[in-house]
Structure 1
Amino acid sequence: MANVTIKDIAEKSGVSTATVSRVLNRSGYASAEIKDKVFSVAKELNYRPNGIARSLKMHKTNTIGIIIPDISNPYFMKISKGIEDVIQNEDYVLIFVSGDESPIKEEKTLKVLLENRVEGIVLATSSEDDENITKIQQAGVPVVLIDRKLENQLVDLDFVVEDNVEAAYQLTKYLIEQGHRHIGVINGSLKVSTGMERYMGYKKAIMEYGMEENADLVFNGNFIQEDGEEAVAKFFERDTKPTAILSFNNTMTYGAVLQLSRMGLTVPDDIVVASYGETEIAQLLKPPGIISVKQSPYEMGVRVGEILLERLANKEKEATHEIFTPKLDIYENNVKEVK
């Protein structure tokens, strides 16, 4: 029988729907005989509770929505795993949605999550517009920002981010100290905090060393693999070729290395690659491979989960701002100076 209801169980059991409801919800009194009868009939009819109806009645869904820019990026998957490992201990489950670096899609998915009555939202935003997020927070649904934060927001939101400026500064500084003066820079979106802050870190380093930025060697992308591929292709069309590539996320780095390989260039023999974030393709390269900033996505996810549970327990508490500082992943054999 399809769409079995408590009314069907009541009719076959010979009891009232109220009694069936008490038994199935384990609330109120019913004799052992009645309980056995109701559970037996429910099993026979293959009854499945209506989760939506129950959540409407209980005003609780035990679901958390998480919107990340790229669901295929291992960095965001590790963050999500950290969140899940914390919240599942309190019987919450995650609903994953990919924003695809699109503010329009992000707005639509936020609406869908709210329509499904999620109790909290974790968001790595692709938008500069904080109006919708502010309205959600003010409506009583906690929002925790991960990886990216909003500028000039109307309400103070919880967030867990990285010190992007410092990490990008250290990565750029390392390349400069190895003698690189022609560095091809692959930016992520400058419309989000991570993209702009990493670019600021790069600018800080070259200014400190009295270097001028070469606009021909700067590519503004959107954190996707194709950006890395296109950037490298354009850099090597210029009169001044880069001696190092500086990529500001792991996915763009992957694309950059693929394109270098297609062009017959090897890393690090022919060109040095520095990446904000580790990428799996580095395992296929001979030492010293790719210079990278080592991030802590799982630990960041764990902290987000803890903050979210604290917020759900006390919506009036002050906002928590957690900043992780990525470390430069340099080994002794990572040194390859420009000659």
Structure 2
Amino acid sequence: MNKVTIKDIARESGVSTATVSRVLSNKGYASEEIKEKVRSIAKRLNYQPNAVARSLKMDRTNTIGVIIPDISNPYFMKISRGIEDTLQKSGYNLIFVSGDENSDKEKKMLQVLTEKRVDALVIATSGGNAEDINRVKNSGIPVVLIDRKLETDSDDLDLVVEDNIEGAYQLTNYLIKKGHTKIGVVNGSLVSSTGTERYLGYRKAMEEHGLDLDPDFIFNGHFTQEDGSNAVTYFFNREEKPTAILSFNNTMTFGVMLQLTRMGLQIPDDILVASYGEAEAAQLLSPDGIVSIKQSPYEMGVKVGEILINRLVRKINKPVTEIFEPIMNVKTKEI
């Protein structure tokens, strides 16, 4: 069945397409009799307005594109919820896509969203697409970086991030002060700013305490649960094993904890786990003794939403940088 158009309604109503357009858009004059007739026929024919045509005419779509690296990660879902809760009050809808920690897929998603003519773009970049992201911004589409920075200068872009260096420094410093010098580090992708900054925070604390950086105690991953599991296997196949594991995101931490549990090890009695970000399922495995950096993803999403309202509604164009400070979170059991 062909899609019903304004011409079909005009033909059924016996009026011009211009009159039908005025009635359906509620703009301009038409008698009450004509309005009732046109609306009744439109309802009977199940007429659906052409959103693309309307957006072309109004030069806006009331949609915001959101690219996140892992759509299954609760951290990014909370960020997205904060954005959505803030923007829906102003009539905006979100289109979510995942870059899957893959720069090629992220680049494709950038193209898809710009072709859909989103009014603004929010991105937690996996890295490698700074040129394309800046091109989107230079085309007139507002861009907000969330959680991750670009690898090149981005002072003219809105930025909402955490102080990753400080957070990783605090975690590492805590472990060292508890007597741990053999710390197995589970890195995320060093292509992304979160991966590199958290590693820098770890290195800063180790160097301050005069401890060597042993490459055999460092596992480089890509922020996945499998990386966490593989890191544990790697560490425990070594002759010298770590007394603590430091994982640089919540998804990898979950993989770490699952693998330790499979191996029959108790947390924290057999080994201490410290995590940048809270693994939501951690309480099922070990209710006490988990050391983590408490993050504020929902609040970060709300901040992104407020920035976008300033850009799109209030037309305020001064770039904003918001840095959320880390909060150490140690559960009740004494370690």
Q: Where does residue 95 of structure 1 map in the other structure?
A: 95
Q: Where does residue 165 of structure 1 map in the other structure?
A: 165
Alpha-carbon distance in 1 for matches of 2:289, 2:10: 68
Deviation at 1:306, TM superposition (A): 0.4
Deviation at 1:31, TM superposition (A): 0.2
Alpha-carbon distance in 1 for matches of 2:59, 2:303: 26
Alpha-carbon distance in 2 for matches of 1:332, 1:251: 23
Deviation at 1:331, TM superposition (A): 4.0
Q: Which moved more, 1:261-270 or 1:55-64?
A: 261-270
Residue-pair matches, total? 335
* 2:264 pairs with 1:248: no
Q: Where does residue 258 of structure 2 map in the other structure?
A: 258
Deviation at 1:133, TM superposition (A): 1.0
Alpha-carbon distance in 2 for matches of 1:197, 1:315: 33
Matches within 5 A, 1:280-291: 280-291=280-291
Alpha-carbon distance in 2 for matches of 1:273, 1:296: 21
Alpha-carbon distance in 2 for matches of 1:111, 1:304: 22
Alpha-carbon distance in 1 for matches of 2:129, 2:167: 26
Q: Which moved more, 1:278-287 or 1:254-263?
A: 278-287
Q: Percentage identity across aligned positions?
A: 64
Deviation at 1:235, TM superposition (A): 0.4
Amino acid at match of 2:195: G
Deviation at 1:151, TM superposition (A): 3.4
Deviation at 1:316, TM superposition (A): 6.4
DSSP 3-state at the match of 1:161: strand
Q: Which moved more, 1:72-81 or 1:126-135?
A: 126-135
The answer to whether the Cα contact below 8 Å between 1:142 and 1:315 also exists between their aligned partners in 2 is no
Alpha-carbon distance in 1 for matches of 2:306, 2:199: 30
Alpha-carbon distance in 2 for matches of 1:191, 1:329: 27
Deviation at 1:154, TM superposition (A): 6.0
The answer to whether the Cα contact below 8 Å between 1:134 and 1:155 also exists between their aligned partners in 2 is no
The answer to whether the Cα contact below 8 Å between 2:188 and 2:221 also exists between their aligned partners in 1 is yes
Q: Where does residue 19 of structure 2 map in the other structure?
A: 19
Alpha-carbon distance in 2 for matches of 1:50, 1:315: 27
Deviation at 1:269, TM superposition (A): 1.7
Matches within 5 A, 1:87-236: 87-153=87-153, 156-236=156-236
Alpha-carbon distance in 2 for matches of 1:219, 1:315: 46
Alpha-carbon distance in 1 for matches of 2:75, 2:320: 22
Q: Where does residue 298 of structure 2 map in the other structure?
A: 298
The answer to whether the Cα contact below 8 Å between 2:257 and 2:285 also exists between their aligned partners in 1 is no
Q: Where does residue 321 of structure 2 map in the other structure?
A: 321
Amino acid at match of 1:173: N
Q: Which moved more, 1:8-17 or 1:277-286?
A: 277-286
Deviation at 1:268, TM superposition (A): 1.4
Deviation at 1:285, TM superposition (A): 3.0
Q: Deviations over 1:167-189 (max 9, x none)?
A: 10000111111111111100001
Which stretches in structure 2 are left out of the alignment for 5+ residues? none
Deviation at 1:308, TM superposition (A): 1.3
Alpha-carbon distance in 1 for matches of 2:91, 2:227: 40
Which stretches in structure 1 are left out of the alignment for 5+ residues? none
Amino acid at match of 1:75: Y
The answer to whether the Cα contact below 8 Å between 1:143 and 1:157 also exists between their aligned partners in 2 is yes
Q: Alpha carbons of 1:97 and 1:145: their partners in 2 closer, same or farther (altered >3 Å)?
A: same
- The two structures have a TM-score, normalised by structure 1, of 0.96
Q: Which moved more, 1:304-313 or 1:243-252?
A: 304-313
DSSP 3-state at the match of 2:64: strand
Q: Alpha carbons of 1:59 and 1:284: their partners in 2 closer, same or farther (altered >3 Å)?
A: same
